[in-house]
Each structure stands twice: as C-alpha cells, then as structure tokens.
Amino acid sequence: MSDYVLKTSNLTKQFKNQVALNKVNLSIKKGSIYGFIGQNGAGKSTFIRIVTGLASPTTGSIELFGQSNGQELIKARKRIGTIIEGPALYPHMTAAENLEAHRLLKGIPGNECVERTLAIVGLQDTGKKKAKNFSLGMKQRLGIGIALLGDPEFLILDEPINGLDPMGVVEIRELLKKLNQEYGMTILISSHILSELHLLATHYGIIHKGNLLEQLTVDELNAKCQQFLHIKVNNPEKAATIIETMLSTNNFEVMPDGCIKLFDYVDTPGKVSSILVNEGLVIEQLMPIGQDLESYFMNRIGGIHRG
Amino acid sequence: MDNLFKAEWFKLKKDRSLWTLIIILTAVSLSYPLLIVFDEGAGAIKVMDFYRNTILEGNNYVIRLVPCILAGFFISSEYSIGTMKSIAASGNSRVRLYFAKLIVYSIGAILISLIFPIIFTGAVSVSLQFNGMPGIGYFAGTIGLTILYTIAFASMMALFATIFTDSGKAIGFMLIFFIIFDSILYLLSGVSPVFETIFNYSVFKLFLDIVNLDTVHGAEMIKLILTPVVTFVAFGILGSILFHKKEIK
C-alpha cells in the first residue's frame, strides 16, 4: 500500500502556445494537509482540474490511491471530495436539497448523512432558504459540506475560505484540523490567504508559472524561512548605497516606509551597525527578524524587487 | 448507474423550467377547448378531426421546440453554475454520466410532449361531448410515435446543450436551429440527391407523418419507427464521445 494519496509524474498541460503546467512531479503523503501555493494563473486550478478528472493532461501521469489507469483511476475519484474554483451549488435548491442531490450522485445509502453534514458545516437552521439567497460564507460552507459527503479520504479544496468572516475562517480551520487529525483525512488546500494556510498545512508546494518550484514540510519551511535584518536609519537612500558598496550585497529591500530588509549579514549585525554608524548614519532600529510564509513565498518566486 | 438516474431524476423534479412549461402547456390544453365551444358550439367538430388537425399539428412545434428550453436549464446550466464540475469529479465514467443525463432529460421532454396529445385531447373530448373519438389504435400509435420522435429530438438537443455550456446561448441557438433546419434541409434536397435521401430519412421530415399514421404501412412504417430510434442512439453516442473529451470549465 502506497504512503502517498497522490503522485504526479511529469504532469504537463499545454494550451496552444501557453504551458499551464510544466512537468510537475508532486506527491501528497497520506494524512497530510498540503498547502498549495501560487499566484493567480500559476497553475493550481489546472493541476486540481486534472487530478479531479475535469481536464486531461497533455503528457505525464497521475497516481491516485495507487491507481493510474483508466477505469481504476476514475473509481479512485470516488474517494475524494472537492471544491473546485468555488462551491458548486444548485441555486434554486435548499442546503439539504443540494446535499441530497450530491448524496444521490455519489451513491451514498441513507439520507441521515445530509442532516449530519448540515450540522458539521453549521447550516442546520437554514430550512427552506434557497442557496441563491445564501451569503458567500454560507455558500462556501455548503460547498465544503458537499465535499465532505461520503467521508472522503482525500479532500481537495480550492480557495475554501474565500468570503468567510473571521469566525467562519476559524471554524473551517478547526473543522479541517479535526478531519485531518481524528479521521486521518488527507487534504490538499489552495489558498491565497497564506497566513491562514500557515496555521493549517503540514506540507507545502509552491507553484509558479506552471513549474513546481519546491515541496517542503512545515519543519523544513520553518528552518528555511530566511531571517533578515530590519534596519531603520535616518537616511535610507544613503544606507542603501553603503550596503551595496561597503557590504557588497544587493540582497536587500527598501520598504515604502524607509525601513530596509537586509537578507545577508543576519549573523553579524554588529558589522552592519558599525559600518552604518561610521558612515555617519543614525540607527534607530536594527534587529534580526524571521520571515513568514508570505515573505518566503514572495522571495521564492522572485516577486520582491531587491536592491 | 442507478444512483446517477436517481440524482438526475431528483434534479428534474426540482427543475422549475420543467414545471413552468408543464403548467403553461396544461393551461393552454384546458382553456383552448372552452374557446372552441363558445366559438363554434360543442356539436360542430369531431374530436378525431381536432386531434389530427390541431392537437398533433400543434404538438409538432412542441416536440421540436419546447424541450430546447428544458435542455438549456437542465443540461447547459450545470456548466454555467459549476455543478458539472462536481458531477464530472464524482468518480463515475463520463459515458455513464452523459447517458443518465440524456435519459432523464428525455423523460422530461416526453412529459412535455404528451401534454397536448393527452390533456388537450381529454379536455377537448369532454368539451365536444366525446363526439367522433379517435380509434384507440390510432391514438396509442400516435402517442408512441410522439415519444419516439421526442427522444430523437431530445438526443440532438442534449448534444447542443453540451456544446453550448451557457443556457441562454444554448436555448437561442437550438430554437433557431430547430425552426429553420428542416427548411434548409428541404431546400438542399432539391439541389442534391444525397441531401434528398438525408431529408427523406430524417426525423425532420418523418415526424410530420405522425398524424398520417393510419395511412402508413409496411416498409414506410418500419422507417417511421426505426428512424427516431437510430437518431436517438446515434446522437447519444456522439454526445457521449463529445462529453468524454470535453474539458469541464
């Protein structure tokens, strides 16, 4: 039995002249919460659409629960629950009717799971209210409820917390943690809210322009989260010139508020301070700071202008 | 496959376009006979004549046009509201998904197409005091052919509704197509013998013969029965191949 729920091998998707996915080799371990990070258009949704069978790859292969061939791969998809590019709801139906339609589609016997799922996602009191009259947050909850029907072993959630209020975000986070820890559900979650993802994911994959740049565990991420020196001086422009010339590095960033993030010399702040002081600058702040996931991601994809 | 039929049947029962169409056609069926009675008197017309000349002739438009609206809402809208994504990702083969959808949609189209022949005829029969009723064989035969030609057109409509993933575009295109295509085919049949053969063996021509059932025999009868069956199967297979290859957005 494979330790991996999902493995892709050189997965490539090309639309005419545009490569949406380029030889992606991604693997998701059983029981993990995999945070899938990338900008809009990076290839996240294309990847999810191929895994869920909505699109076919140009080249490469998928192995889902150890199955990679035709009918077996299709059957393996019965073991997953999905939200792809927003919740898929019938607007003229109530929450219970939406769940019932999907229960029948998935062939789940007995309709007691409908009430149970409504309670799990906090929609048990919506009664005869149609889905079209739901708030965005309620629609997201119902979408998650649909994905949870049939107790899938693998949840694929594309932007599941969009539109949720802070309480809703916390509730969904706790729910996903519970599903993962108590039921061993593996979760692939893509989100733009990286701070939220950082609280949840155990593994990360960073995708950029169709290329999977990196896969790492949360421990590896924490170790890799690059430190920097936060420097606040009376003359940032002069300080930038001094850092470039006297410290021989352009691995720094001048922030809009005039503060400087210096990604080198993190272990030798004394050297930096003495040079800046010797050049006549007044140092108001100089301290080492760790990066968060957002900064790490931005650095990894080269999204920050340095120097 | 059983669960797919149940899911589609559940959605069909909840489809408001189906119920709206059924209510409108039923209202027409129940109110129109009153106009005849007020206008011409109950004894002036035979039910058989009315059935042939008004109900079946009128139903020709219902069969090939009204289910287009249902196809737009029942099939195309699954793409536009995004639910087709969860259907396609449900772990069922695309071919089974397509045929479950097609068969349940065809049942909806049959319900629509039988309102005039059954409810209209019933209302007219009462209004005309059962004067000159059609024979049971003729009546049953026309009902059977109505069902066959309805599913043949439904099979084409399901294909178009799968191509046009927006309900508005799908309905607009299909209404225009099914209004003018038989005329185009008729014009082409005068130009080329190939098109003439196609037209003669197409549902677009043959469905007009439902009303002439009592005068059709032998090979012509077989043609009248087999053509819609072959059309349903052919377009069903074509649609399932298309759906199998389709990228769901």
Kindly report, residue by residue over A227-280, the tens digit of the pLDDT: 788 999 999 999 999 999 999 988 888 988 889 988 888 888 899 999 999 999
When scoring A94, A105, A149 by the number of chain B Cβ atoms within 10 A, the one with the most, hence best to mutate, is A105
Choose the final residue of a domain: A223, A246, A279. A223
Among residues A27, A293, A77, A32, the alpha carbon closest in space to that of A177 is found at A32
Average pLDDT over residues B109-134: 93
- Count: domains in chain A: 2
Subunit contact B90:A106, Cβ cutoff 8 A: yes
Query: Per the domain annotation, does A84 fall within a domain?
Result: yes
Chain A residues whose CB is inside 8 A of the B87 CB are 105
| CB–CB contact B81 A93 (8 Å) | no
B104 dihedral zone (left: phi>0; alpha: psi -120 to 50; beta): alpha
Q: φ and ψ at B59, to 5 degrees?
A: -70, -20
pLDDT band for B129, please (50, 70, 90 cuts): confident
Residues A146 and A232 reside in one and the same domain: no
Under an 8 A CB cutoff, do B93 and A80 touch? no
**If pLDDT is split at 50, 70 and 90, which confidence band does A307 have?**
very low
Q: Check whether residue A194 and residue A264 sit in a common domain.
A: no
Q: What is the pLDDT of residues B74-100, one digit of tens each?
A: 999 999 999 999 999 999 999 999 999
Instruction: Say which residue the tokens 């995999």 belong to.
Output: A34
Asked if B95 contacts B2 with a C-beta cutoff of 8 angstroms, the reply is no
What sign for the dihedral angle of Cα B84, B85, B86, B87? positive
A218 and A279 co-located in one domain? no
Four-CA torsion B243, B244, B246, B248, nearest 10 degrees = 90
Q: What is the pLDDT of residue B42?
A: 67
Residue A74 and residue A14 in one domain? yes
Residues A50-63: pLDDT tens digits? 999 999 999 999 99
Most confident among A40-44, A100-104, A286-290 (mean pLDDT): A100-104
Give the pLDDT of residue A115.
Answer: 94
- ipTM entry: 0.89
Query: From the CA of A241, how many Å to the nearest CA of chain B?
Result: 51
A116 and A235 within one domain: no
The position carrying tokens 């309905």 is: B171
**Cross-chain residue pair A49–B4, CB shorter than 8 Å:** no
Q: Could you read off the pLDDT of B98-115 as tens digits, one per residue?
A: 999 999 999 999 999 999
Structure tokens that stand for A121 in this block = 């996602």
Per the CB < 8 A criterion, the answer to whether B78 and B131 are in contact is: no
H-helix or E-strand containing A215?
A: strand A211-217
Length of chain A: 307
- Asked, for residue A301, whether it belongs to a domain, the answer is no
Label residues B141-151 b or e (16+ Cβ within 10 Å = b): bbbebbbbbbb
- Among left, alpha and beta (phi > 0; psi -120 to 50; other), residue A186 is beta
Phi and psi at A87, nearest 5°, equal: -70, 140
Q: Which of A104, A114, A146 to mutate to test the interface with B (most CBs of B within 10 A)?
A: A104
CA torsion through residues B143, B148, B151, B157, sign: negative
Q: Is residue A299 part of a domain?
A: no
Same domain flag for A274 and A205:
no
- In total, the C-beta contacts within 8 angstroms joining chain A to chain B are 84
Q: Which amino acid is at B81?
A: I
What pairs with residue A262 in β-bridges? A229, A252
Neighbours of A255 (CB within 10 A): 11
Are A28 and A6 in contact by the 8 Å Cβ rule? The answer is yes
Q: Give me the residue from B16, B85, B86 closest to A92, CB to CB.
A: B16
Nearest CA in chain B to A144: B86
What is the C-alpha to C-alpha distance for residues A71 and A59, in angstroms, rounded to an integer? 18
Residue with tokens 């994809």: A301
Cβ contacts (< 8 Å) between B86 and chain A: which residues? 82, 84, 88, 102, 105, 146
Q: What is the pLDDT of residue B1?
A: 66
B85 CA to chain A: closest CA distance, Å? 7
Is A190 in the same domain as A48?
Answer: yes
Q: Is the domain of A136 the same as that of A244?
A: no
Cβ contact (<8 Å) for B86 and A74? Answer: no
A69 touches chain B (CB under 8 A): no
CB of A73 less than 8 A from some CB of B: no
**pLDDT in the model for residue A85:** 84
Token digits for B182?
Answer: 């038989």
Q: Quick one: pLDDT band at residue B19, thresholds 50, 70, 90?
A: very high
Domain shared by A70 and A193, yes or no = yes
Which residues in chain B touch residue A146, judged by CB atoms under 8 angstroms apart?
86
Domain carrying residue A195:
4-223
The SS3 of residue A118 is helix
A273, part of any domain? yes
- A220 pLDDT band, cuts 50/70/90, is confident
The answer to whether the CB of A73 falls within 8 A of the CB of A56 is: no
Label the pairing between strands A18-24 and A203-208. unpaired
The DSSP secondary-structure symbol of A58 reads S
Do A80 and A156 meet the contact criterion of CB atoms below 8 Å apart? yes
Same domain (yes/no): A37, A159? yes
Distance (Å, rounded) from C-alpha A95 to C-alpha A132? 10
Q: Which residues of B touch A140 (CB under 8 A)?
A: none
Q: By three-state DSSP, how is residue A69 classified?
A: coil
* Distance of alpha carbon A12 from alpha carbon A22, whole angstroms: 5
Cross-strand bridge partners of residue A215: A205
For residue A297, being part of any structural domain is answered with: no
Q: Provide the CATH number for the domain around residue A130.
A: 3.40.50.300
| DSSP for residue B58 | H
Task: Report the candidate in A253, A254, A257, A261 with the shortest Cα–Cα distance to residue A287.
Answer: A261
Q: Is residue A144 part of a domain?
A: yes
Shared domain for A45 and A133, answered yes or no, is yes
A88 touching B (Cβ < 8 Å): yes
Identify the burial level of A190 via C-beta atoms within 10 angstroms of its C-beta, where 0-12 means exposed, 13-18 middle and 19 or more buried.
buried
Look at residue A193 and tell me if it is in a domain: yes
Residue A267: CATH number of its domain: 3.30.70
Strands (E), chain B: none
Pair A71, A132 in one domain: yes
> Using an 8 Å Cβ cutoff, are A197 and A189 in contact?
yes
Which pLDDT belongs to residue A305? 39
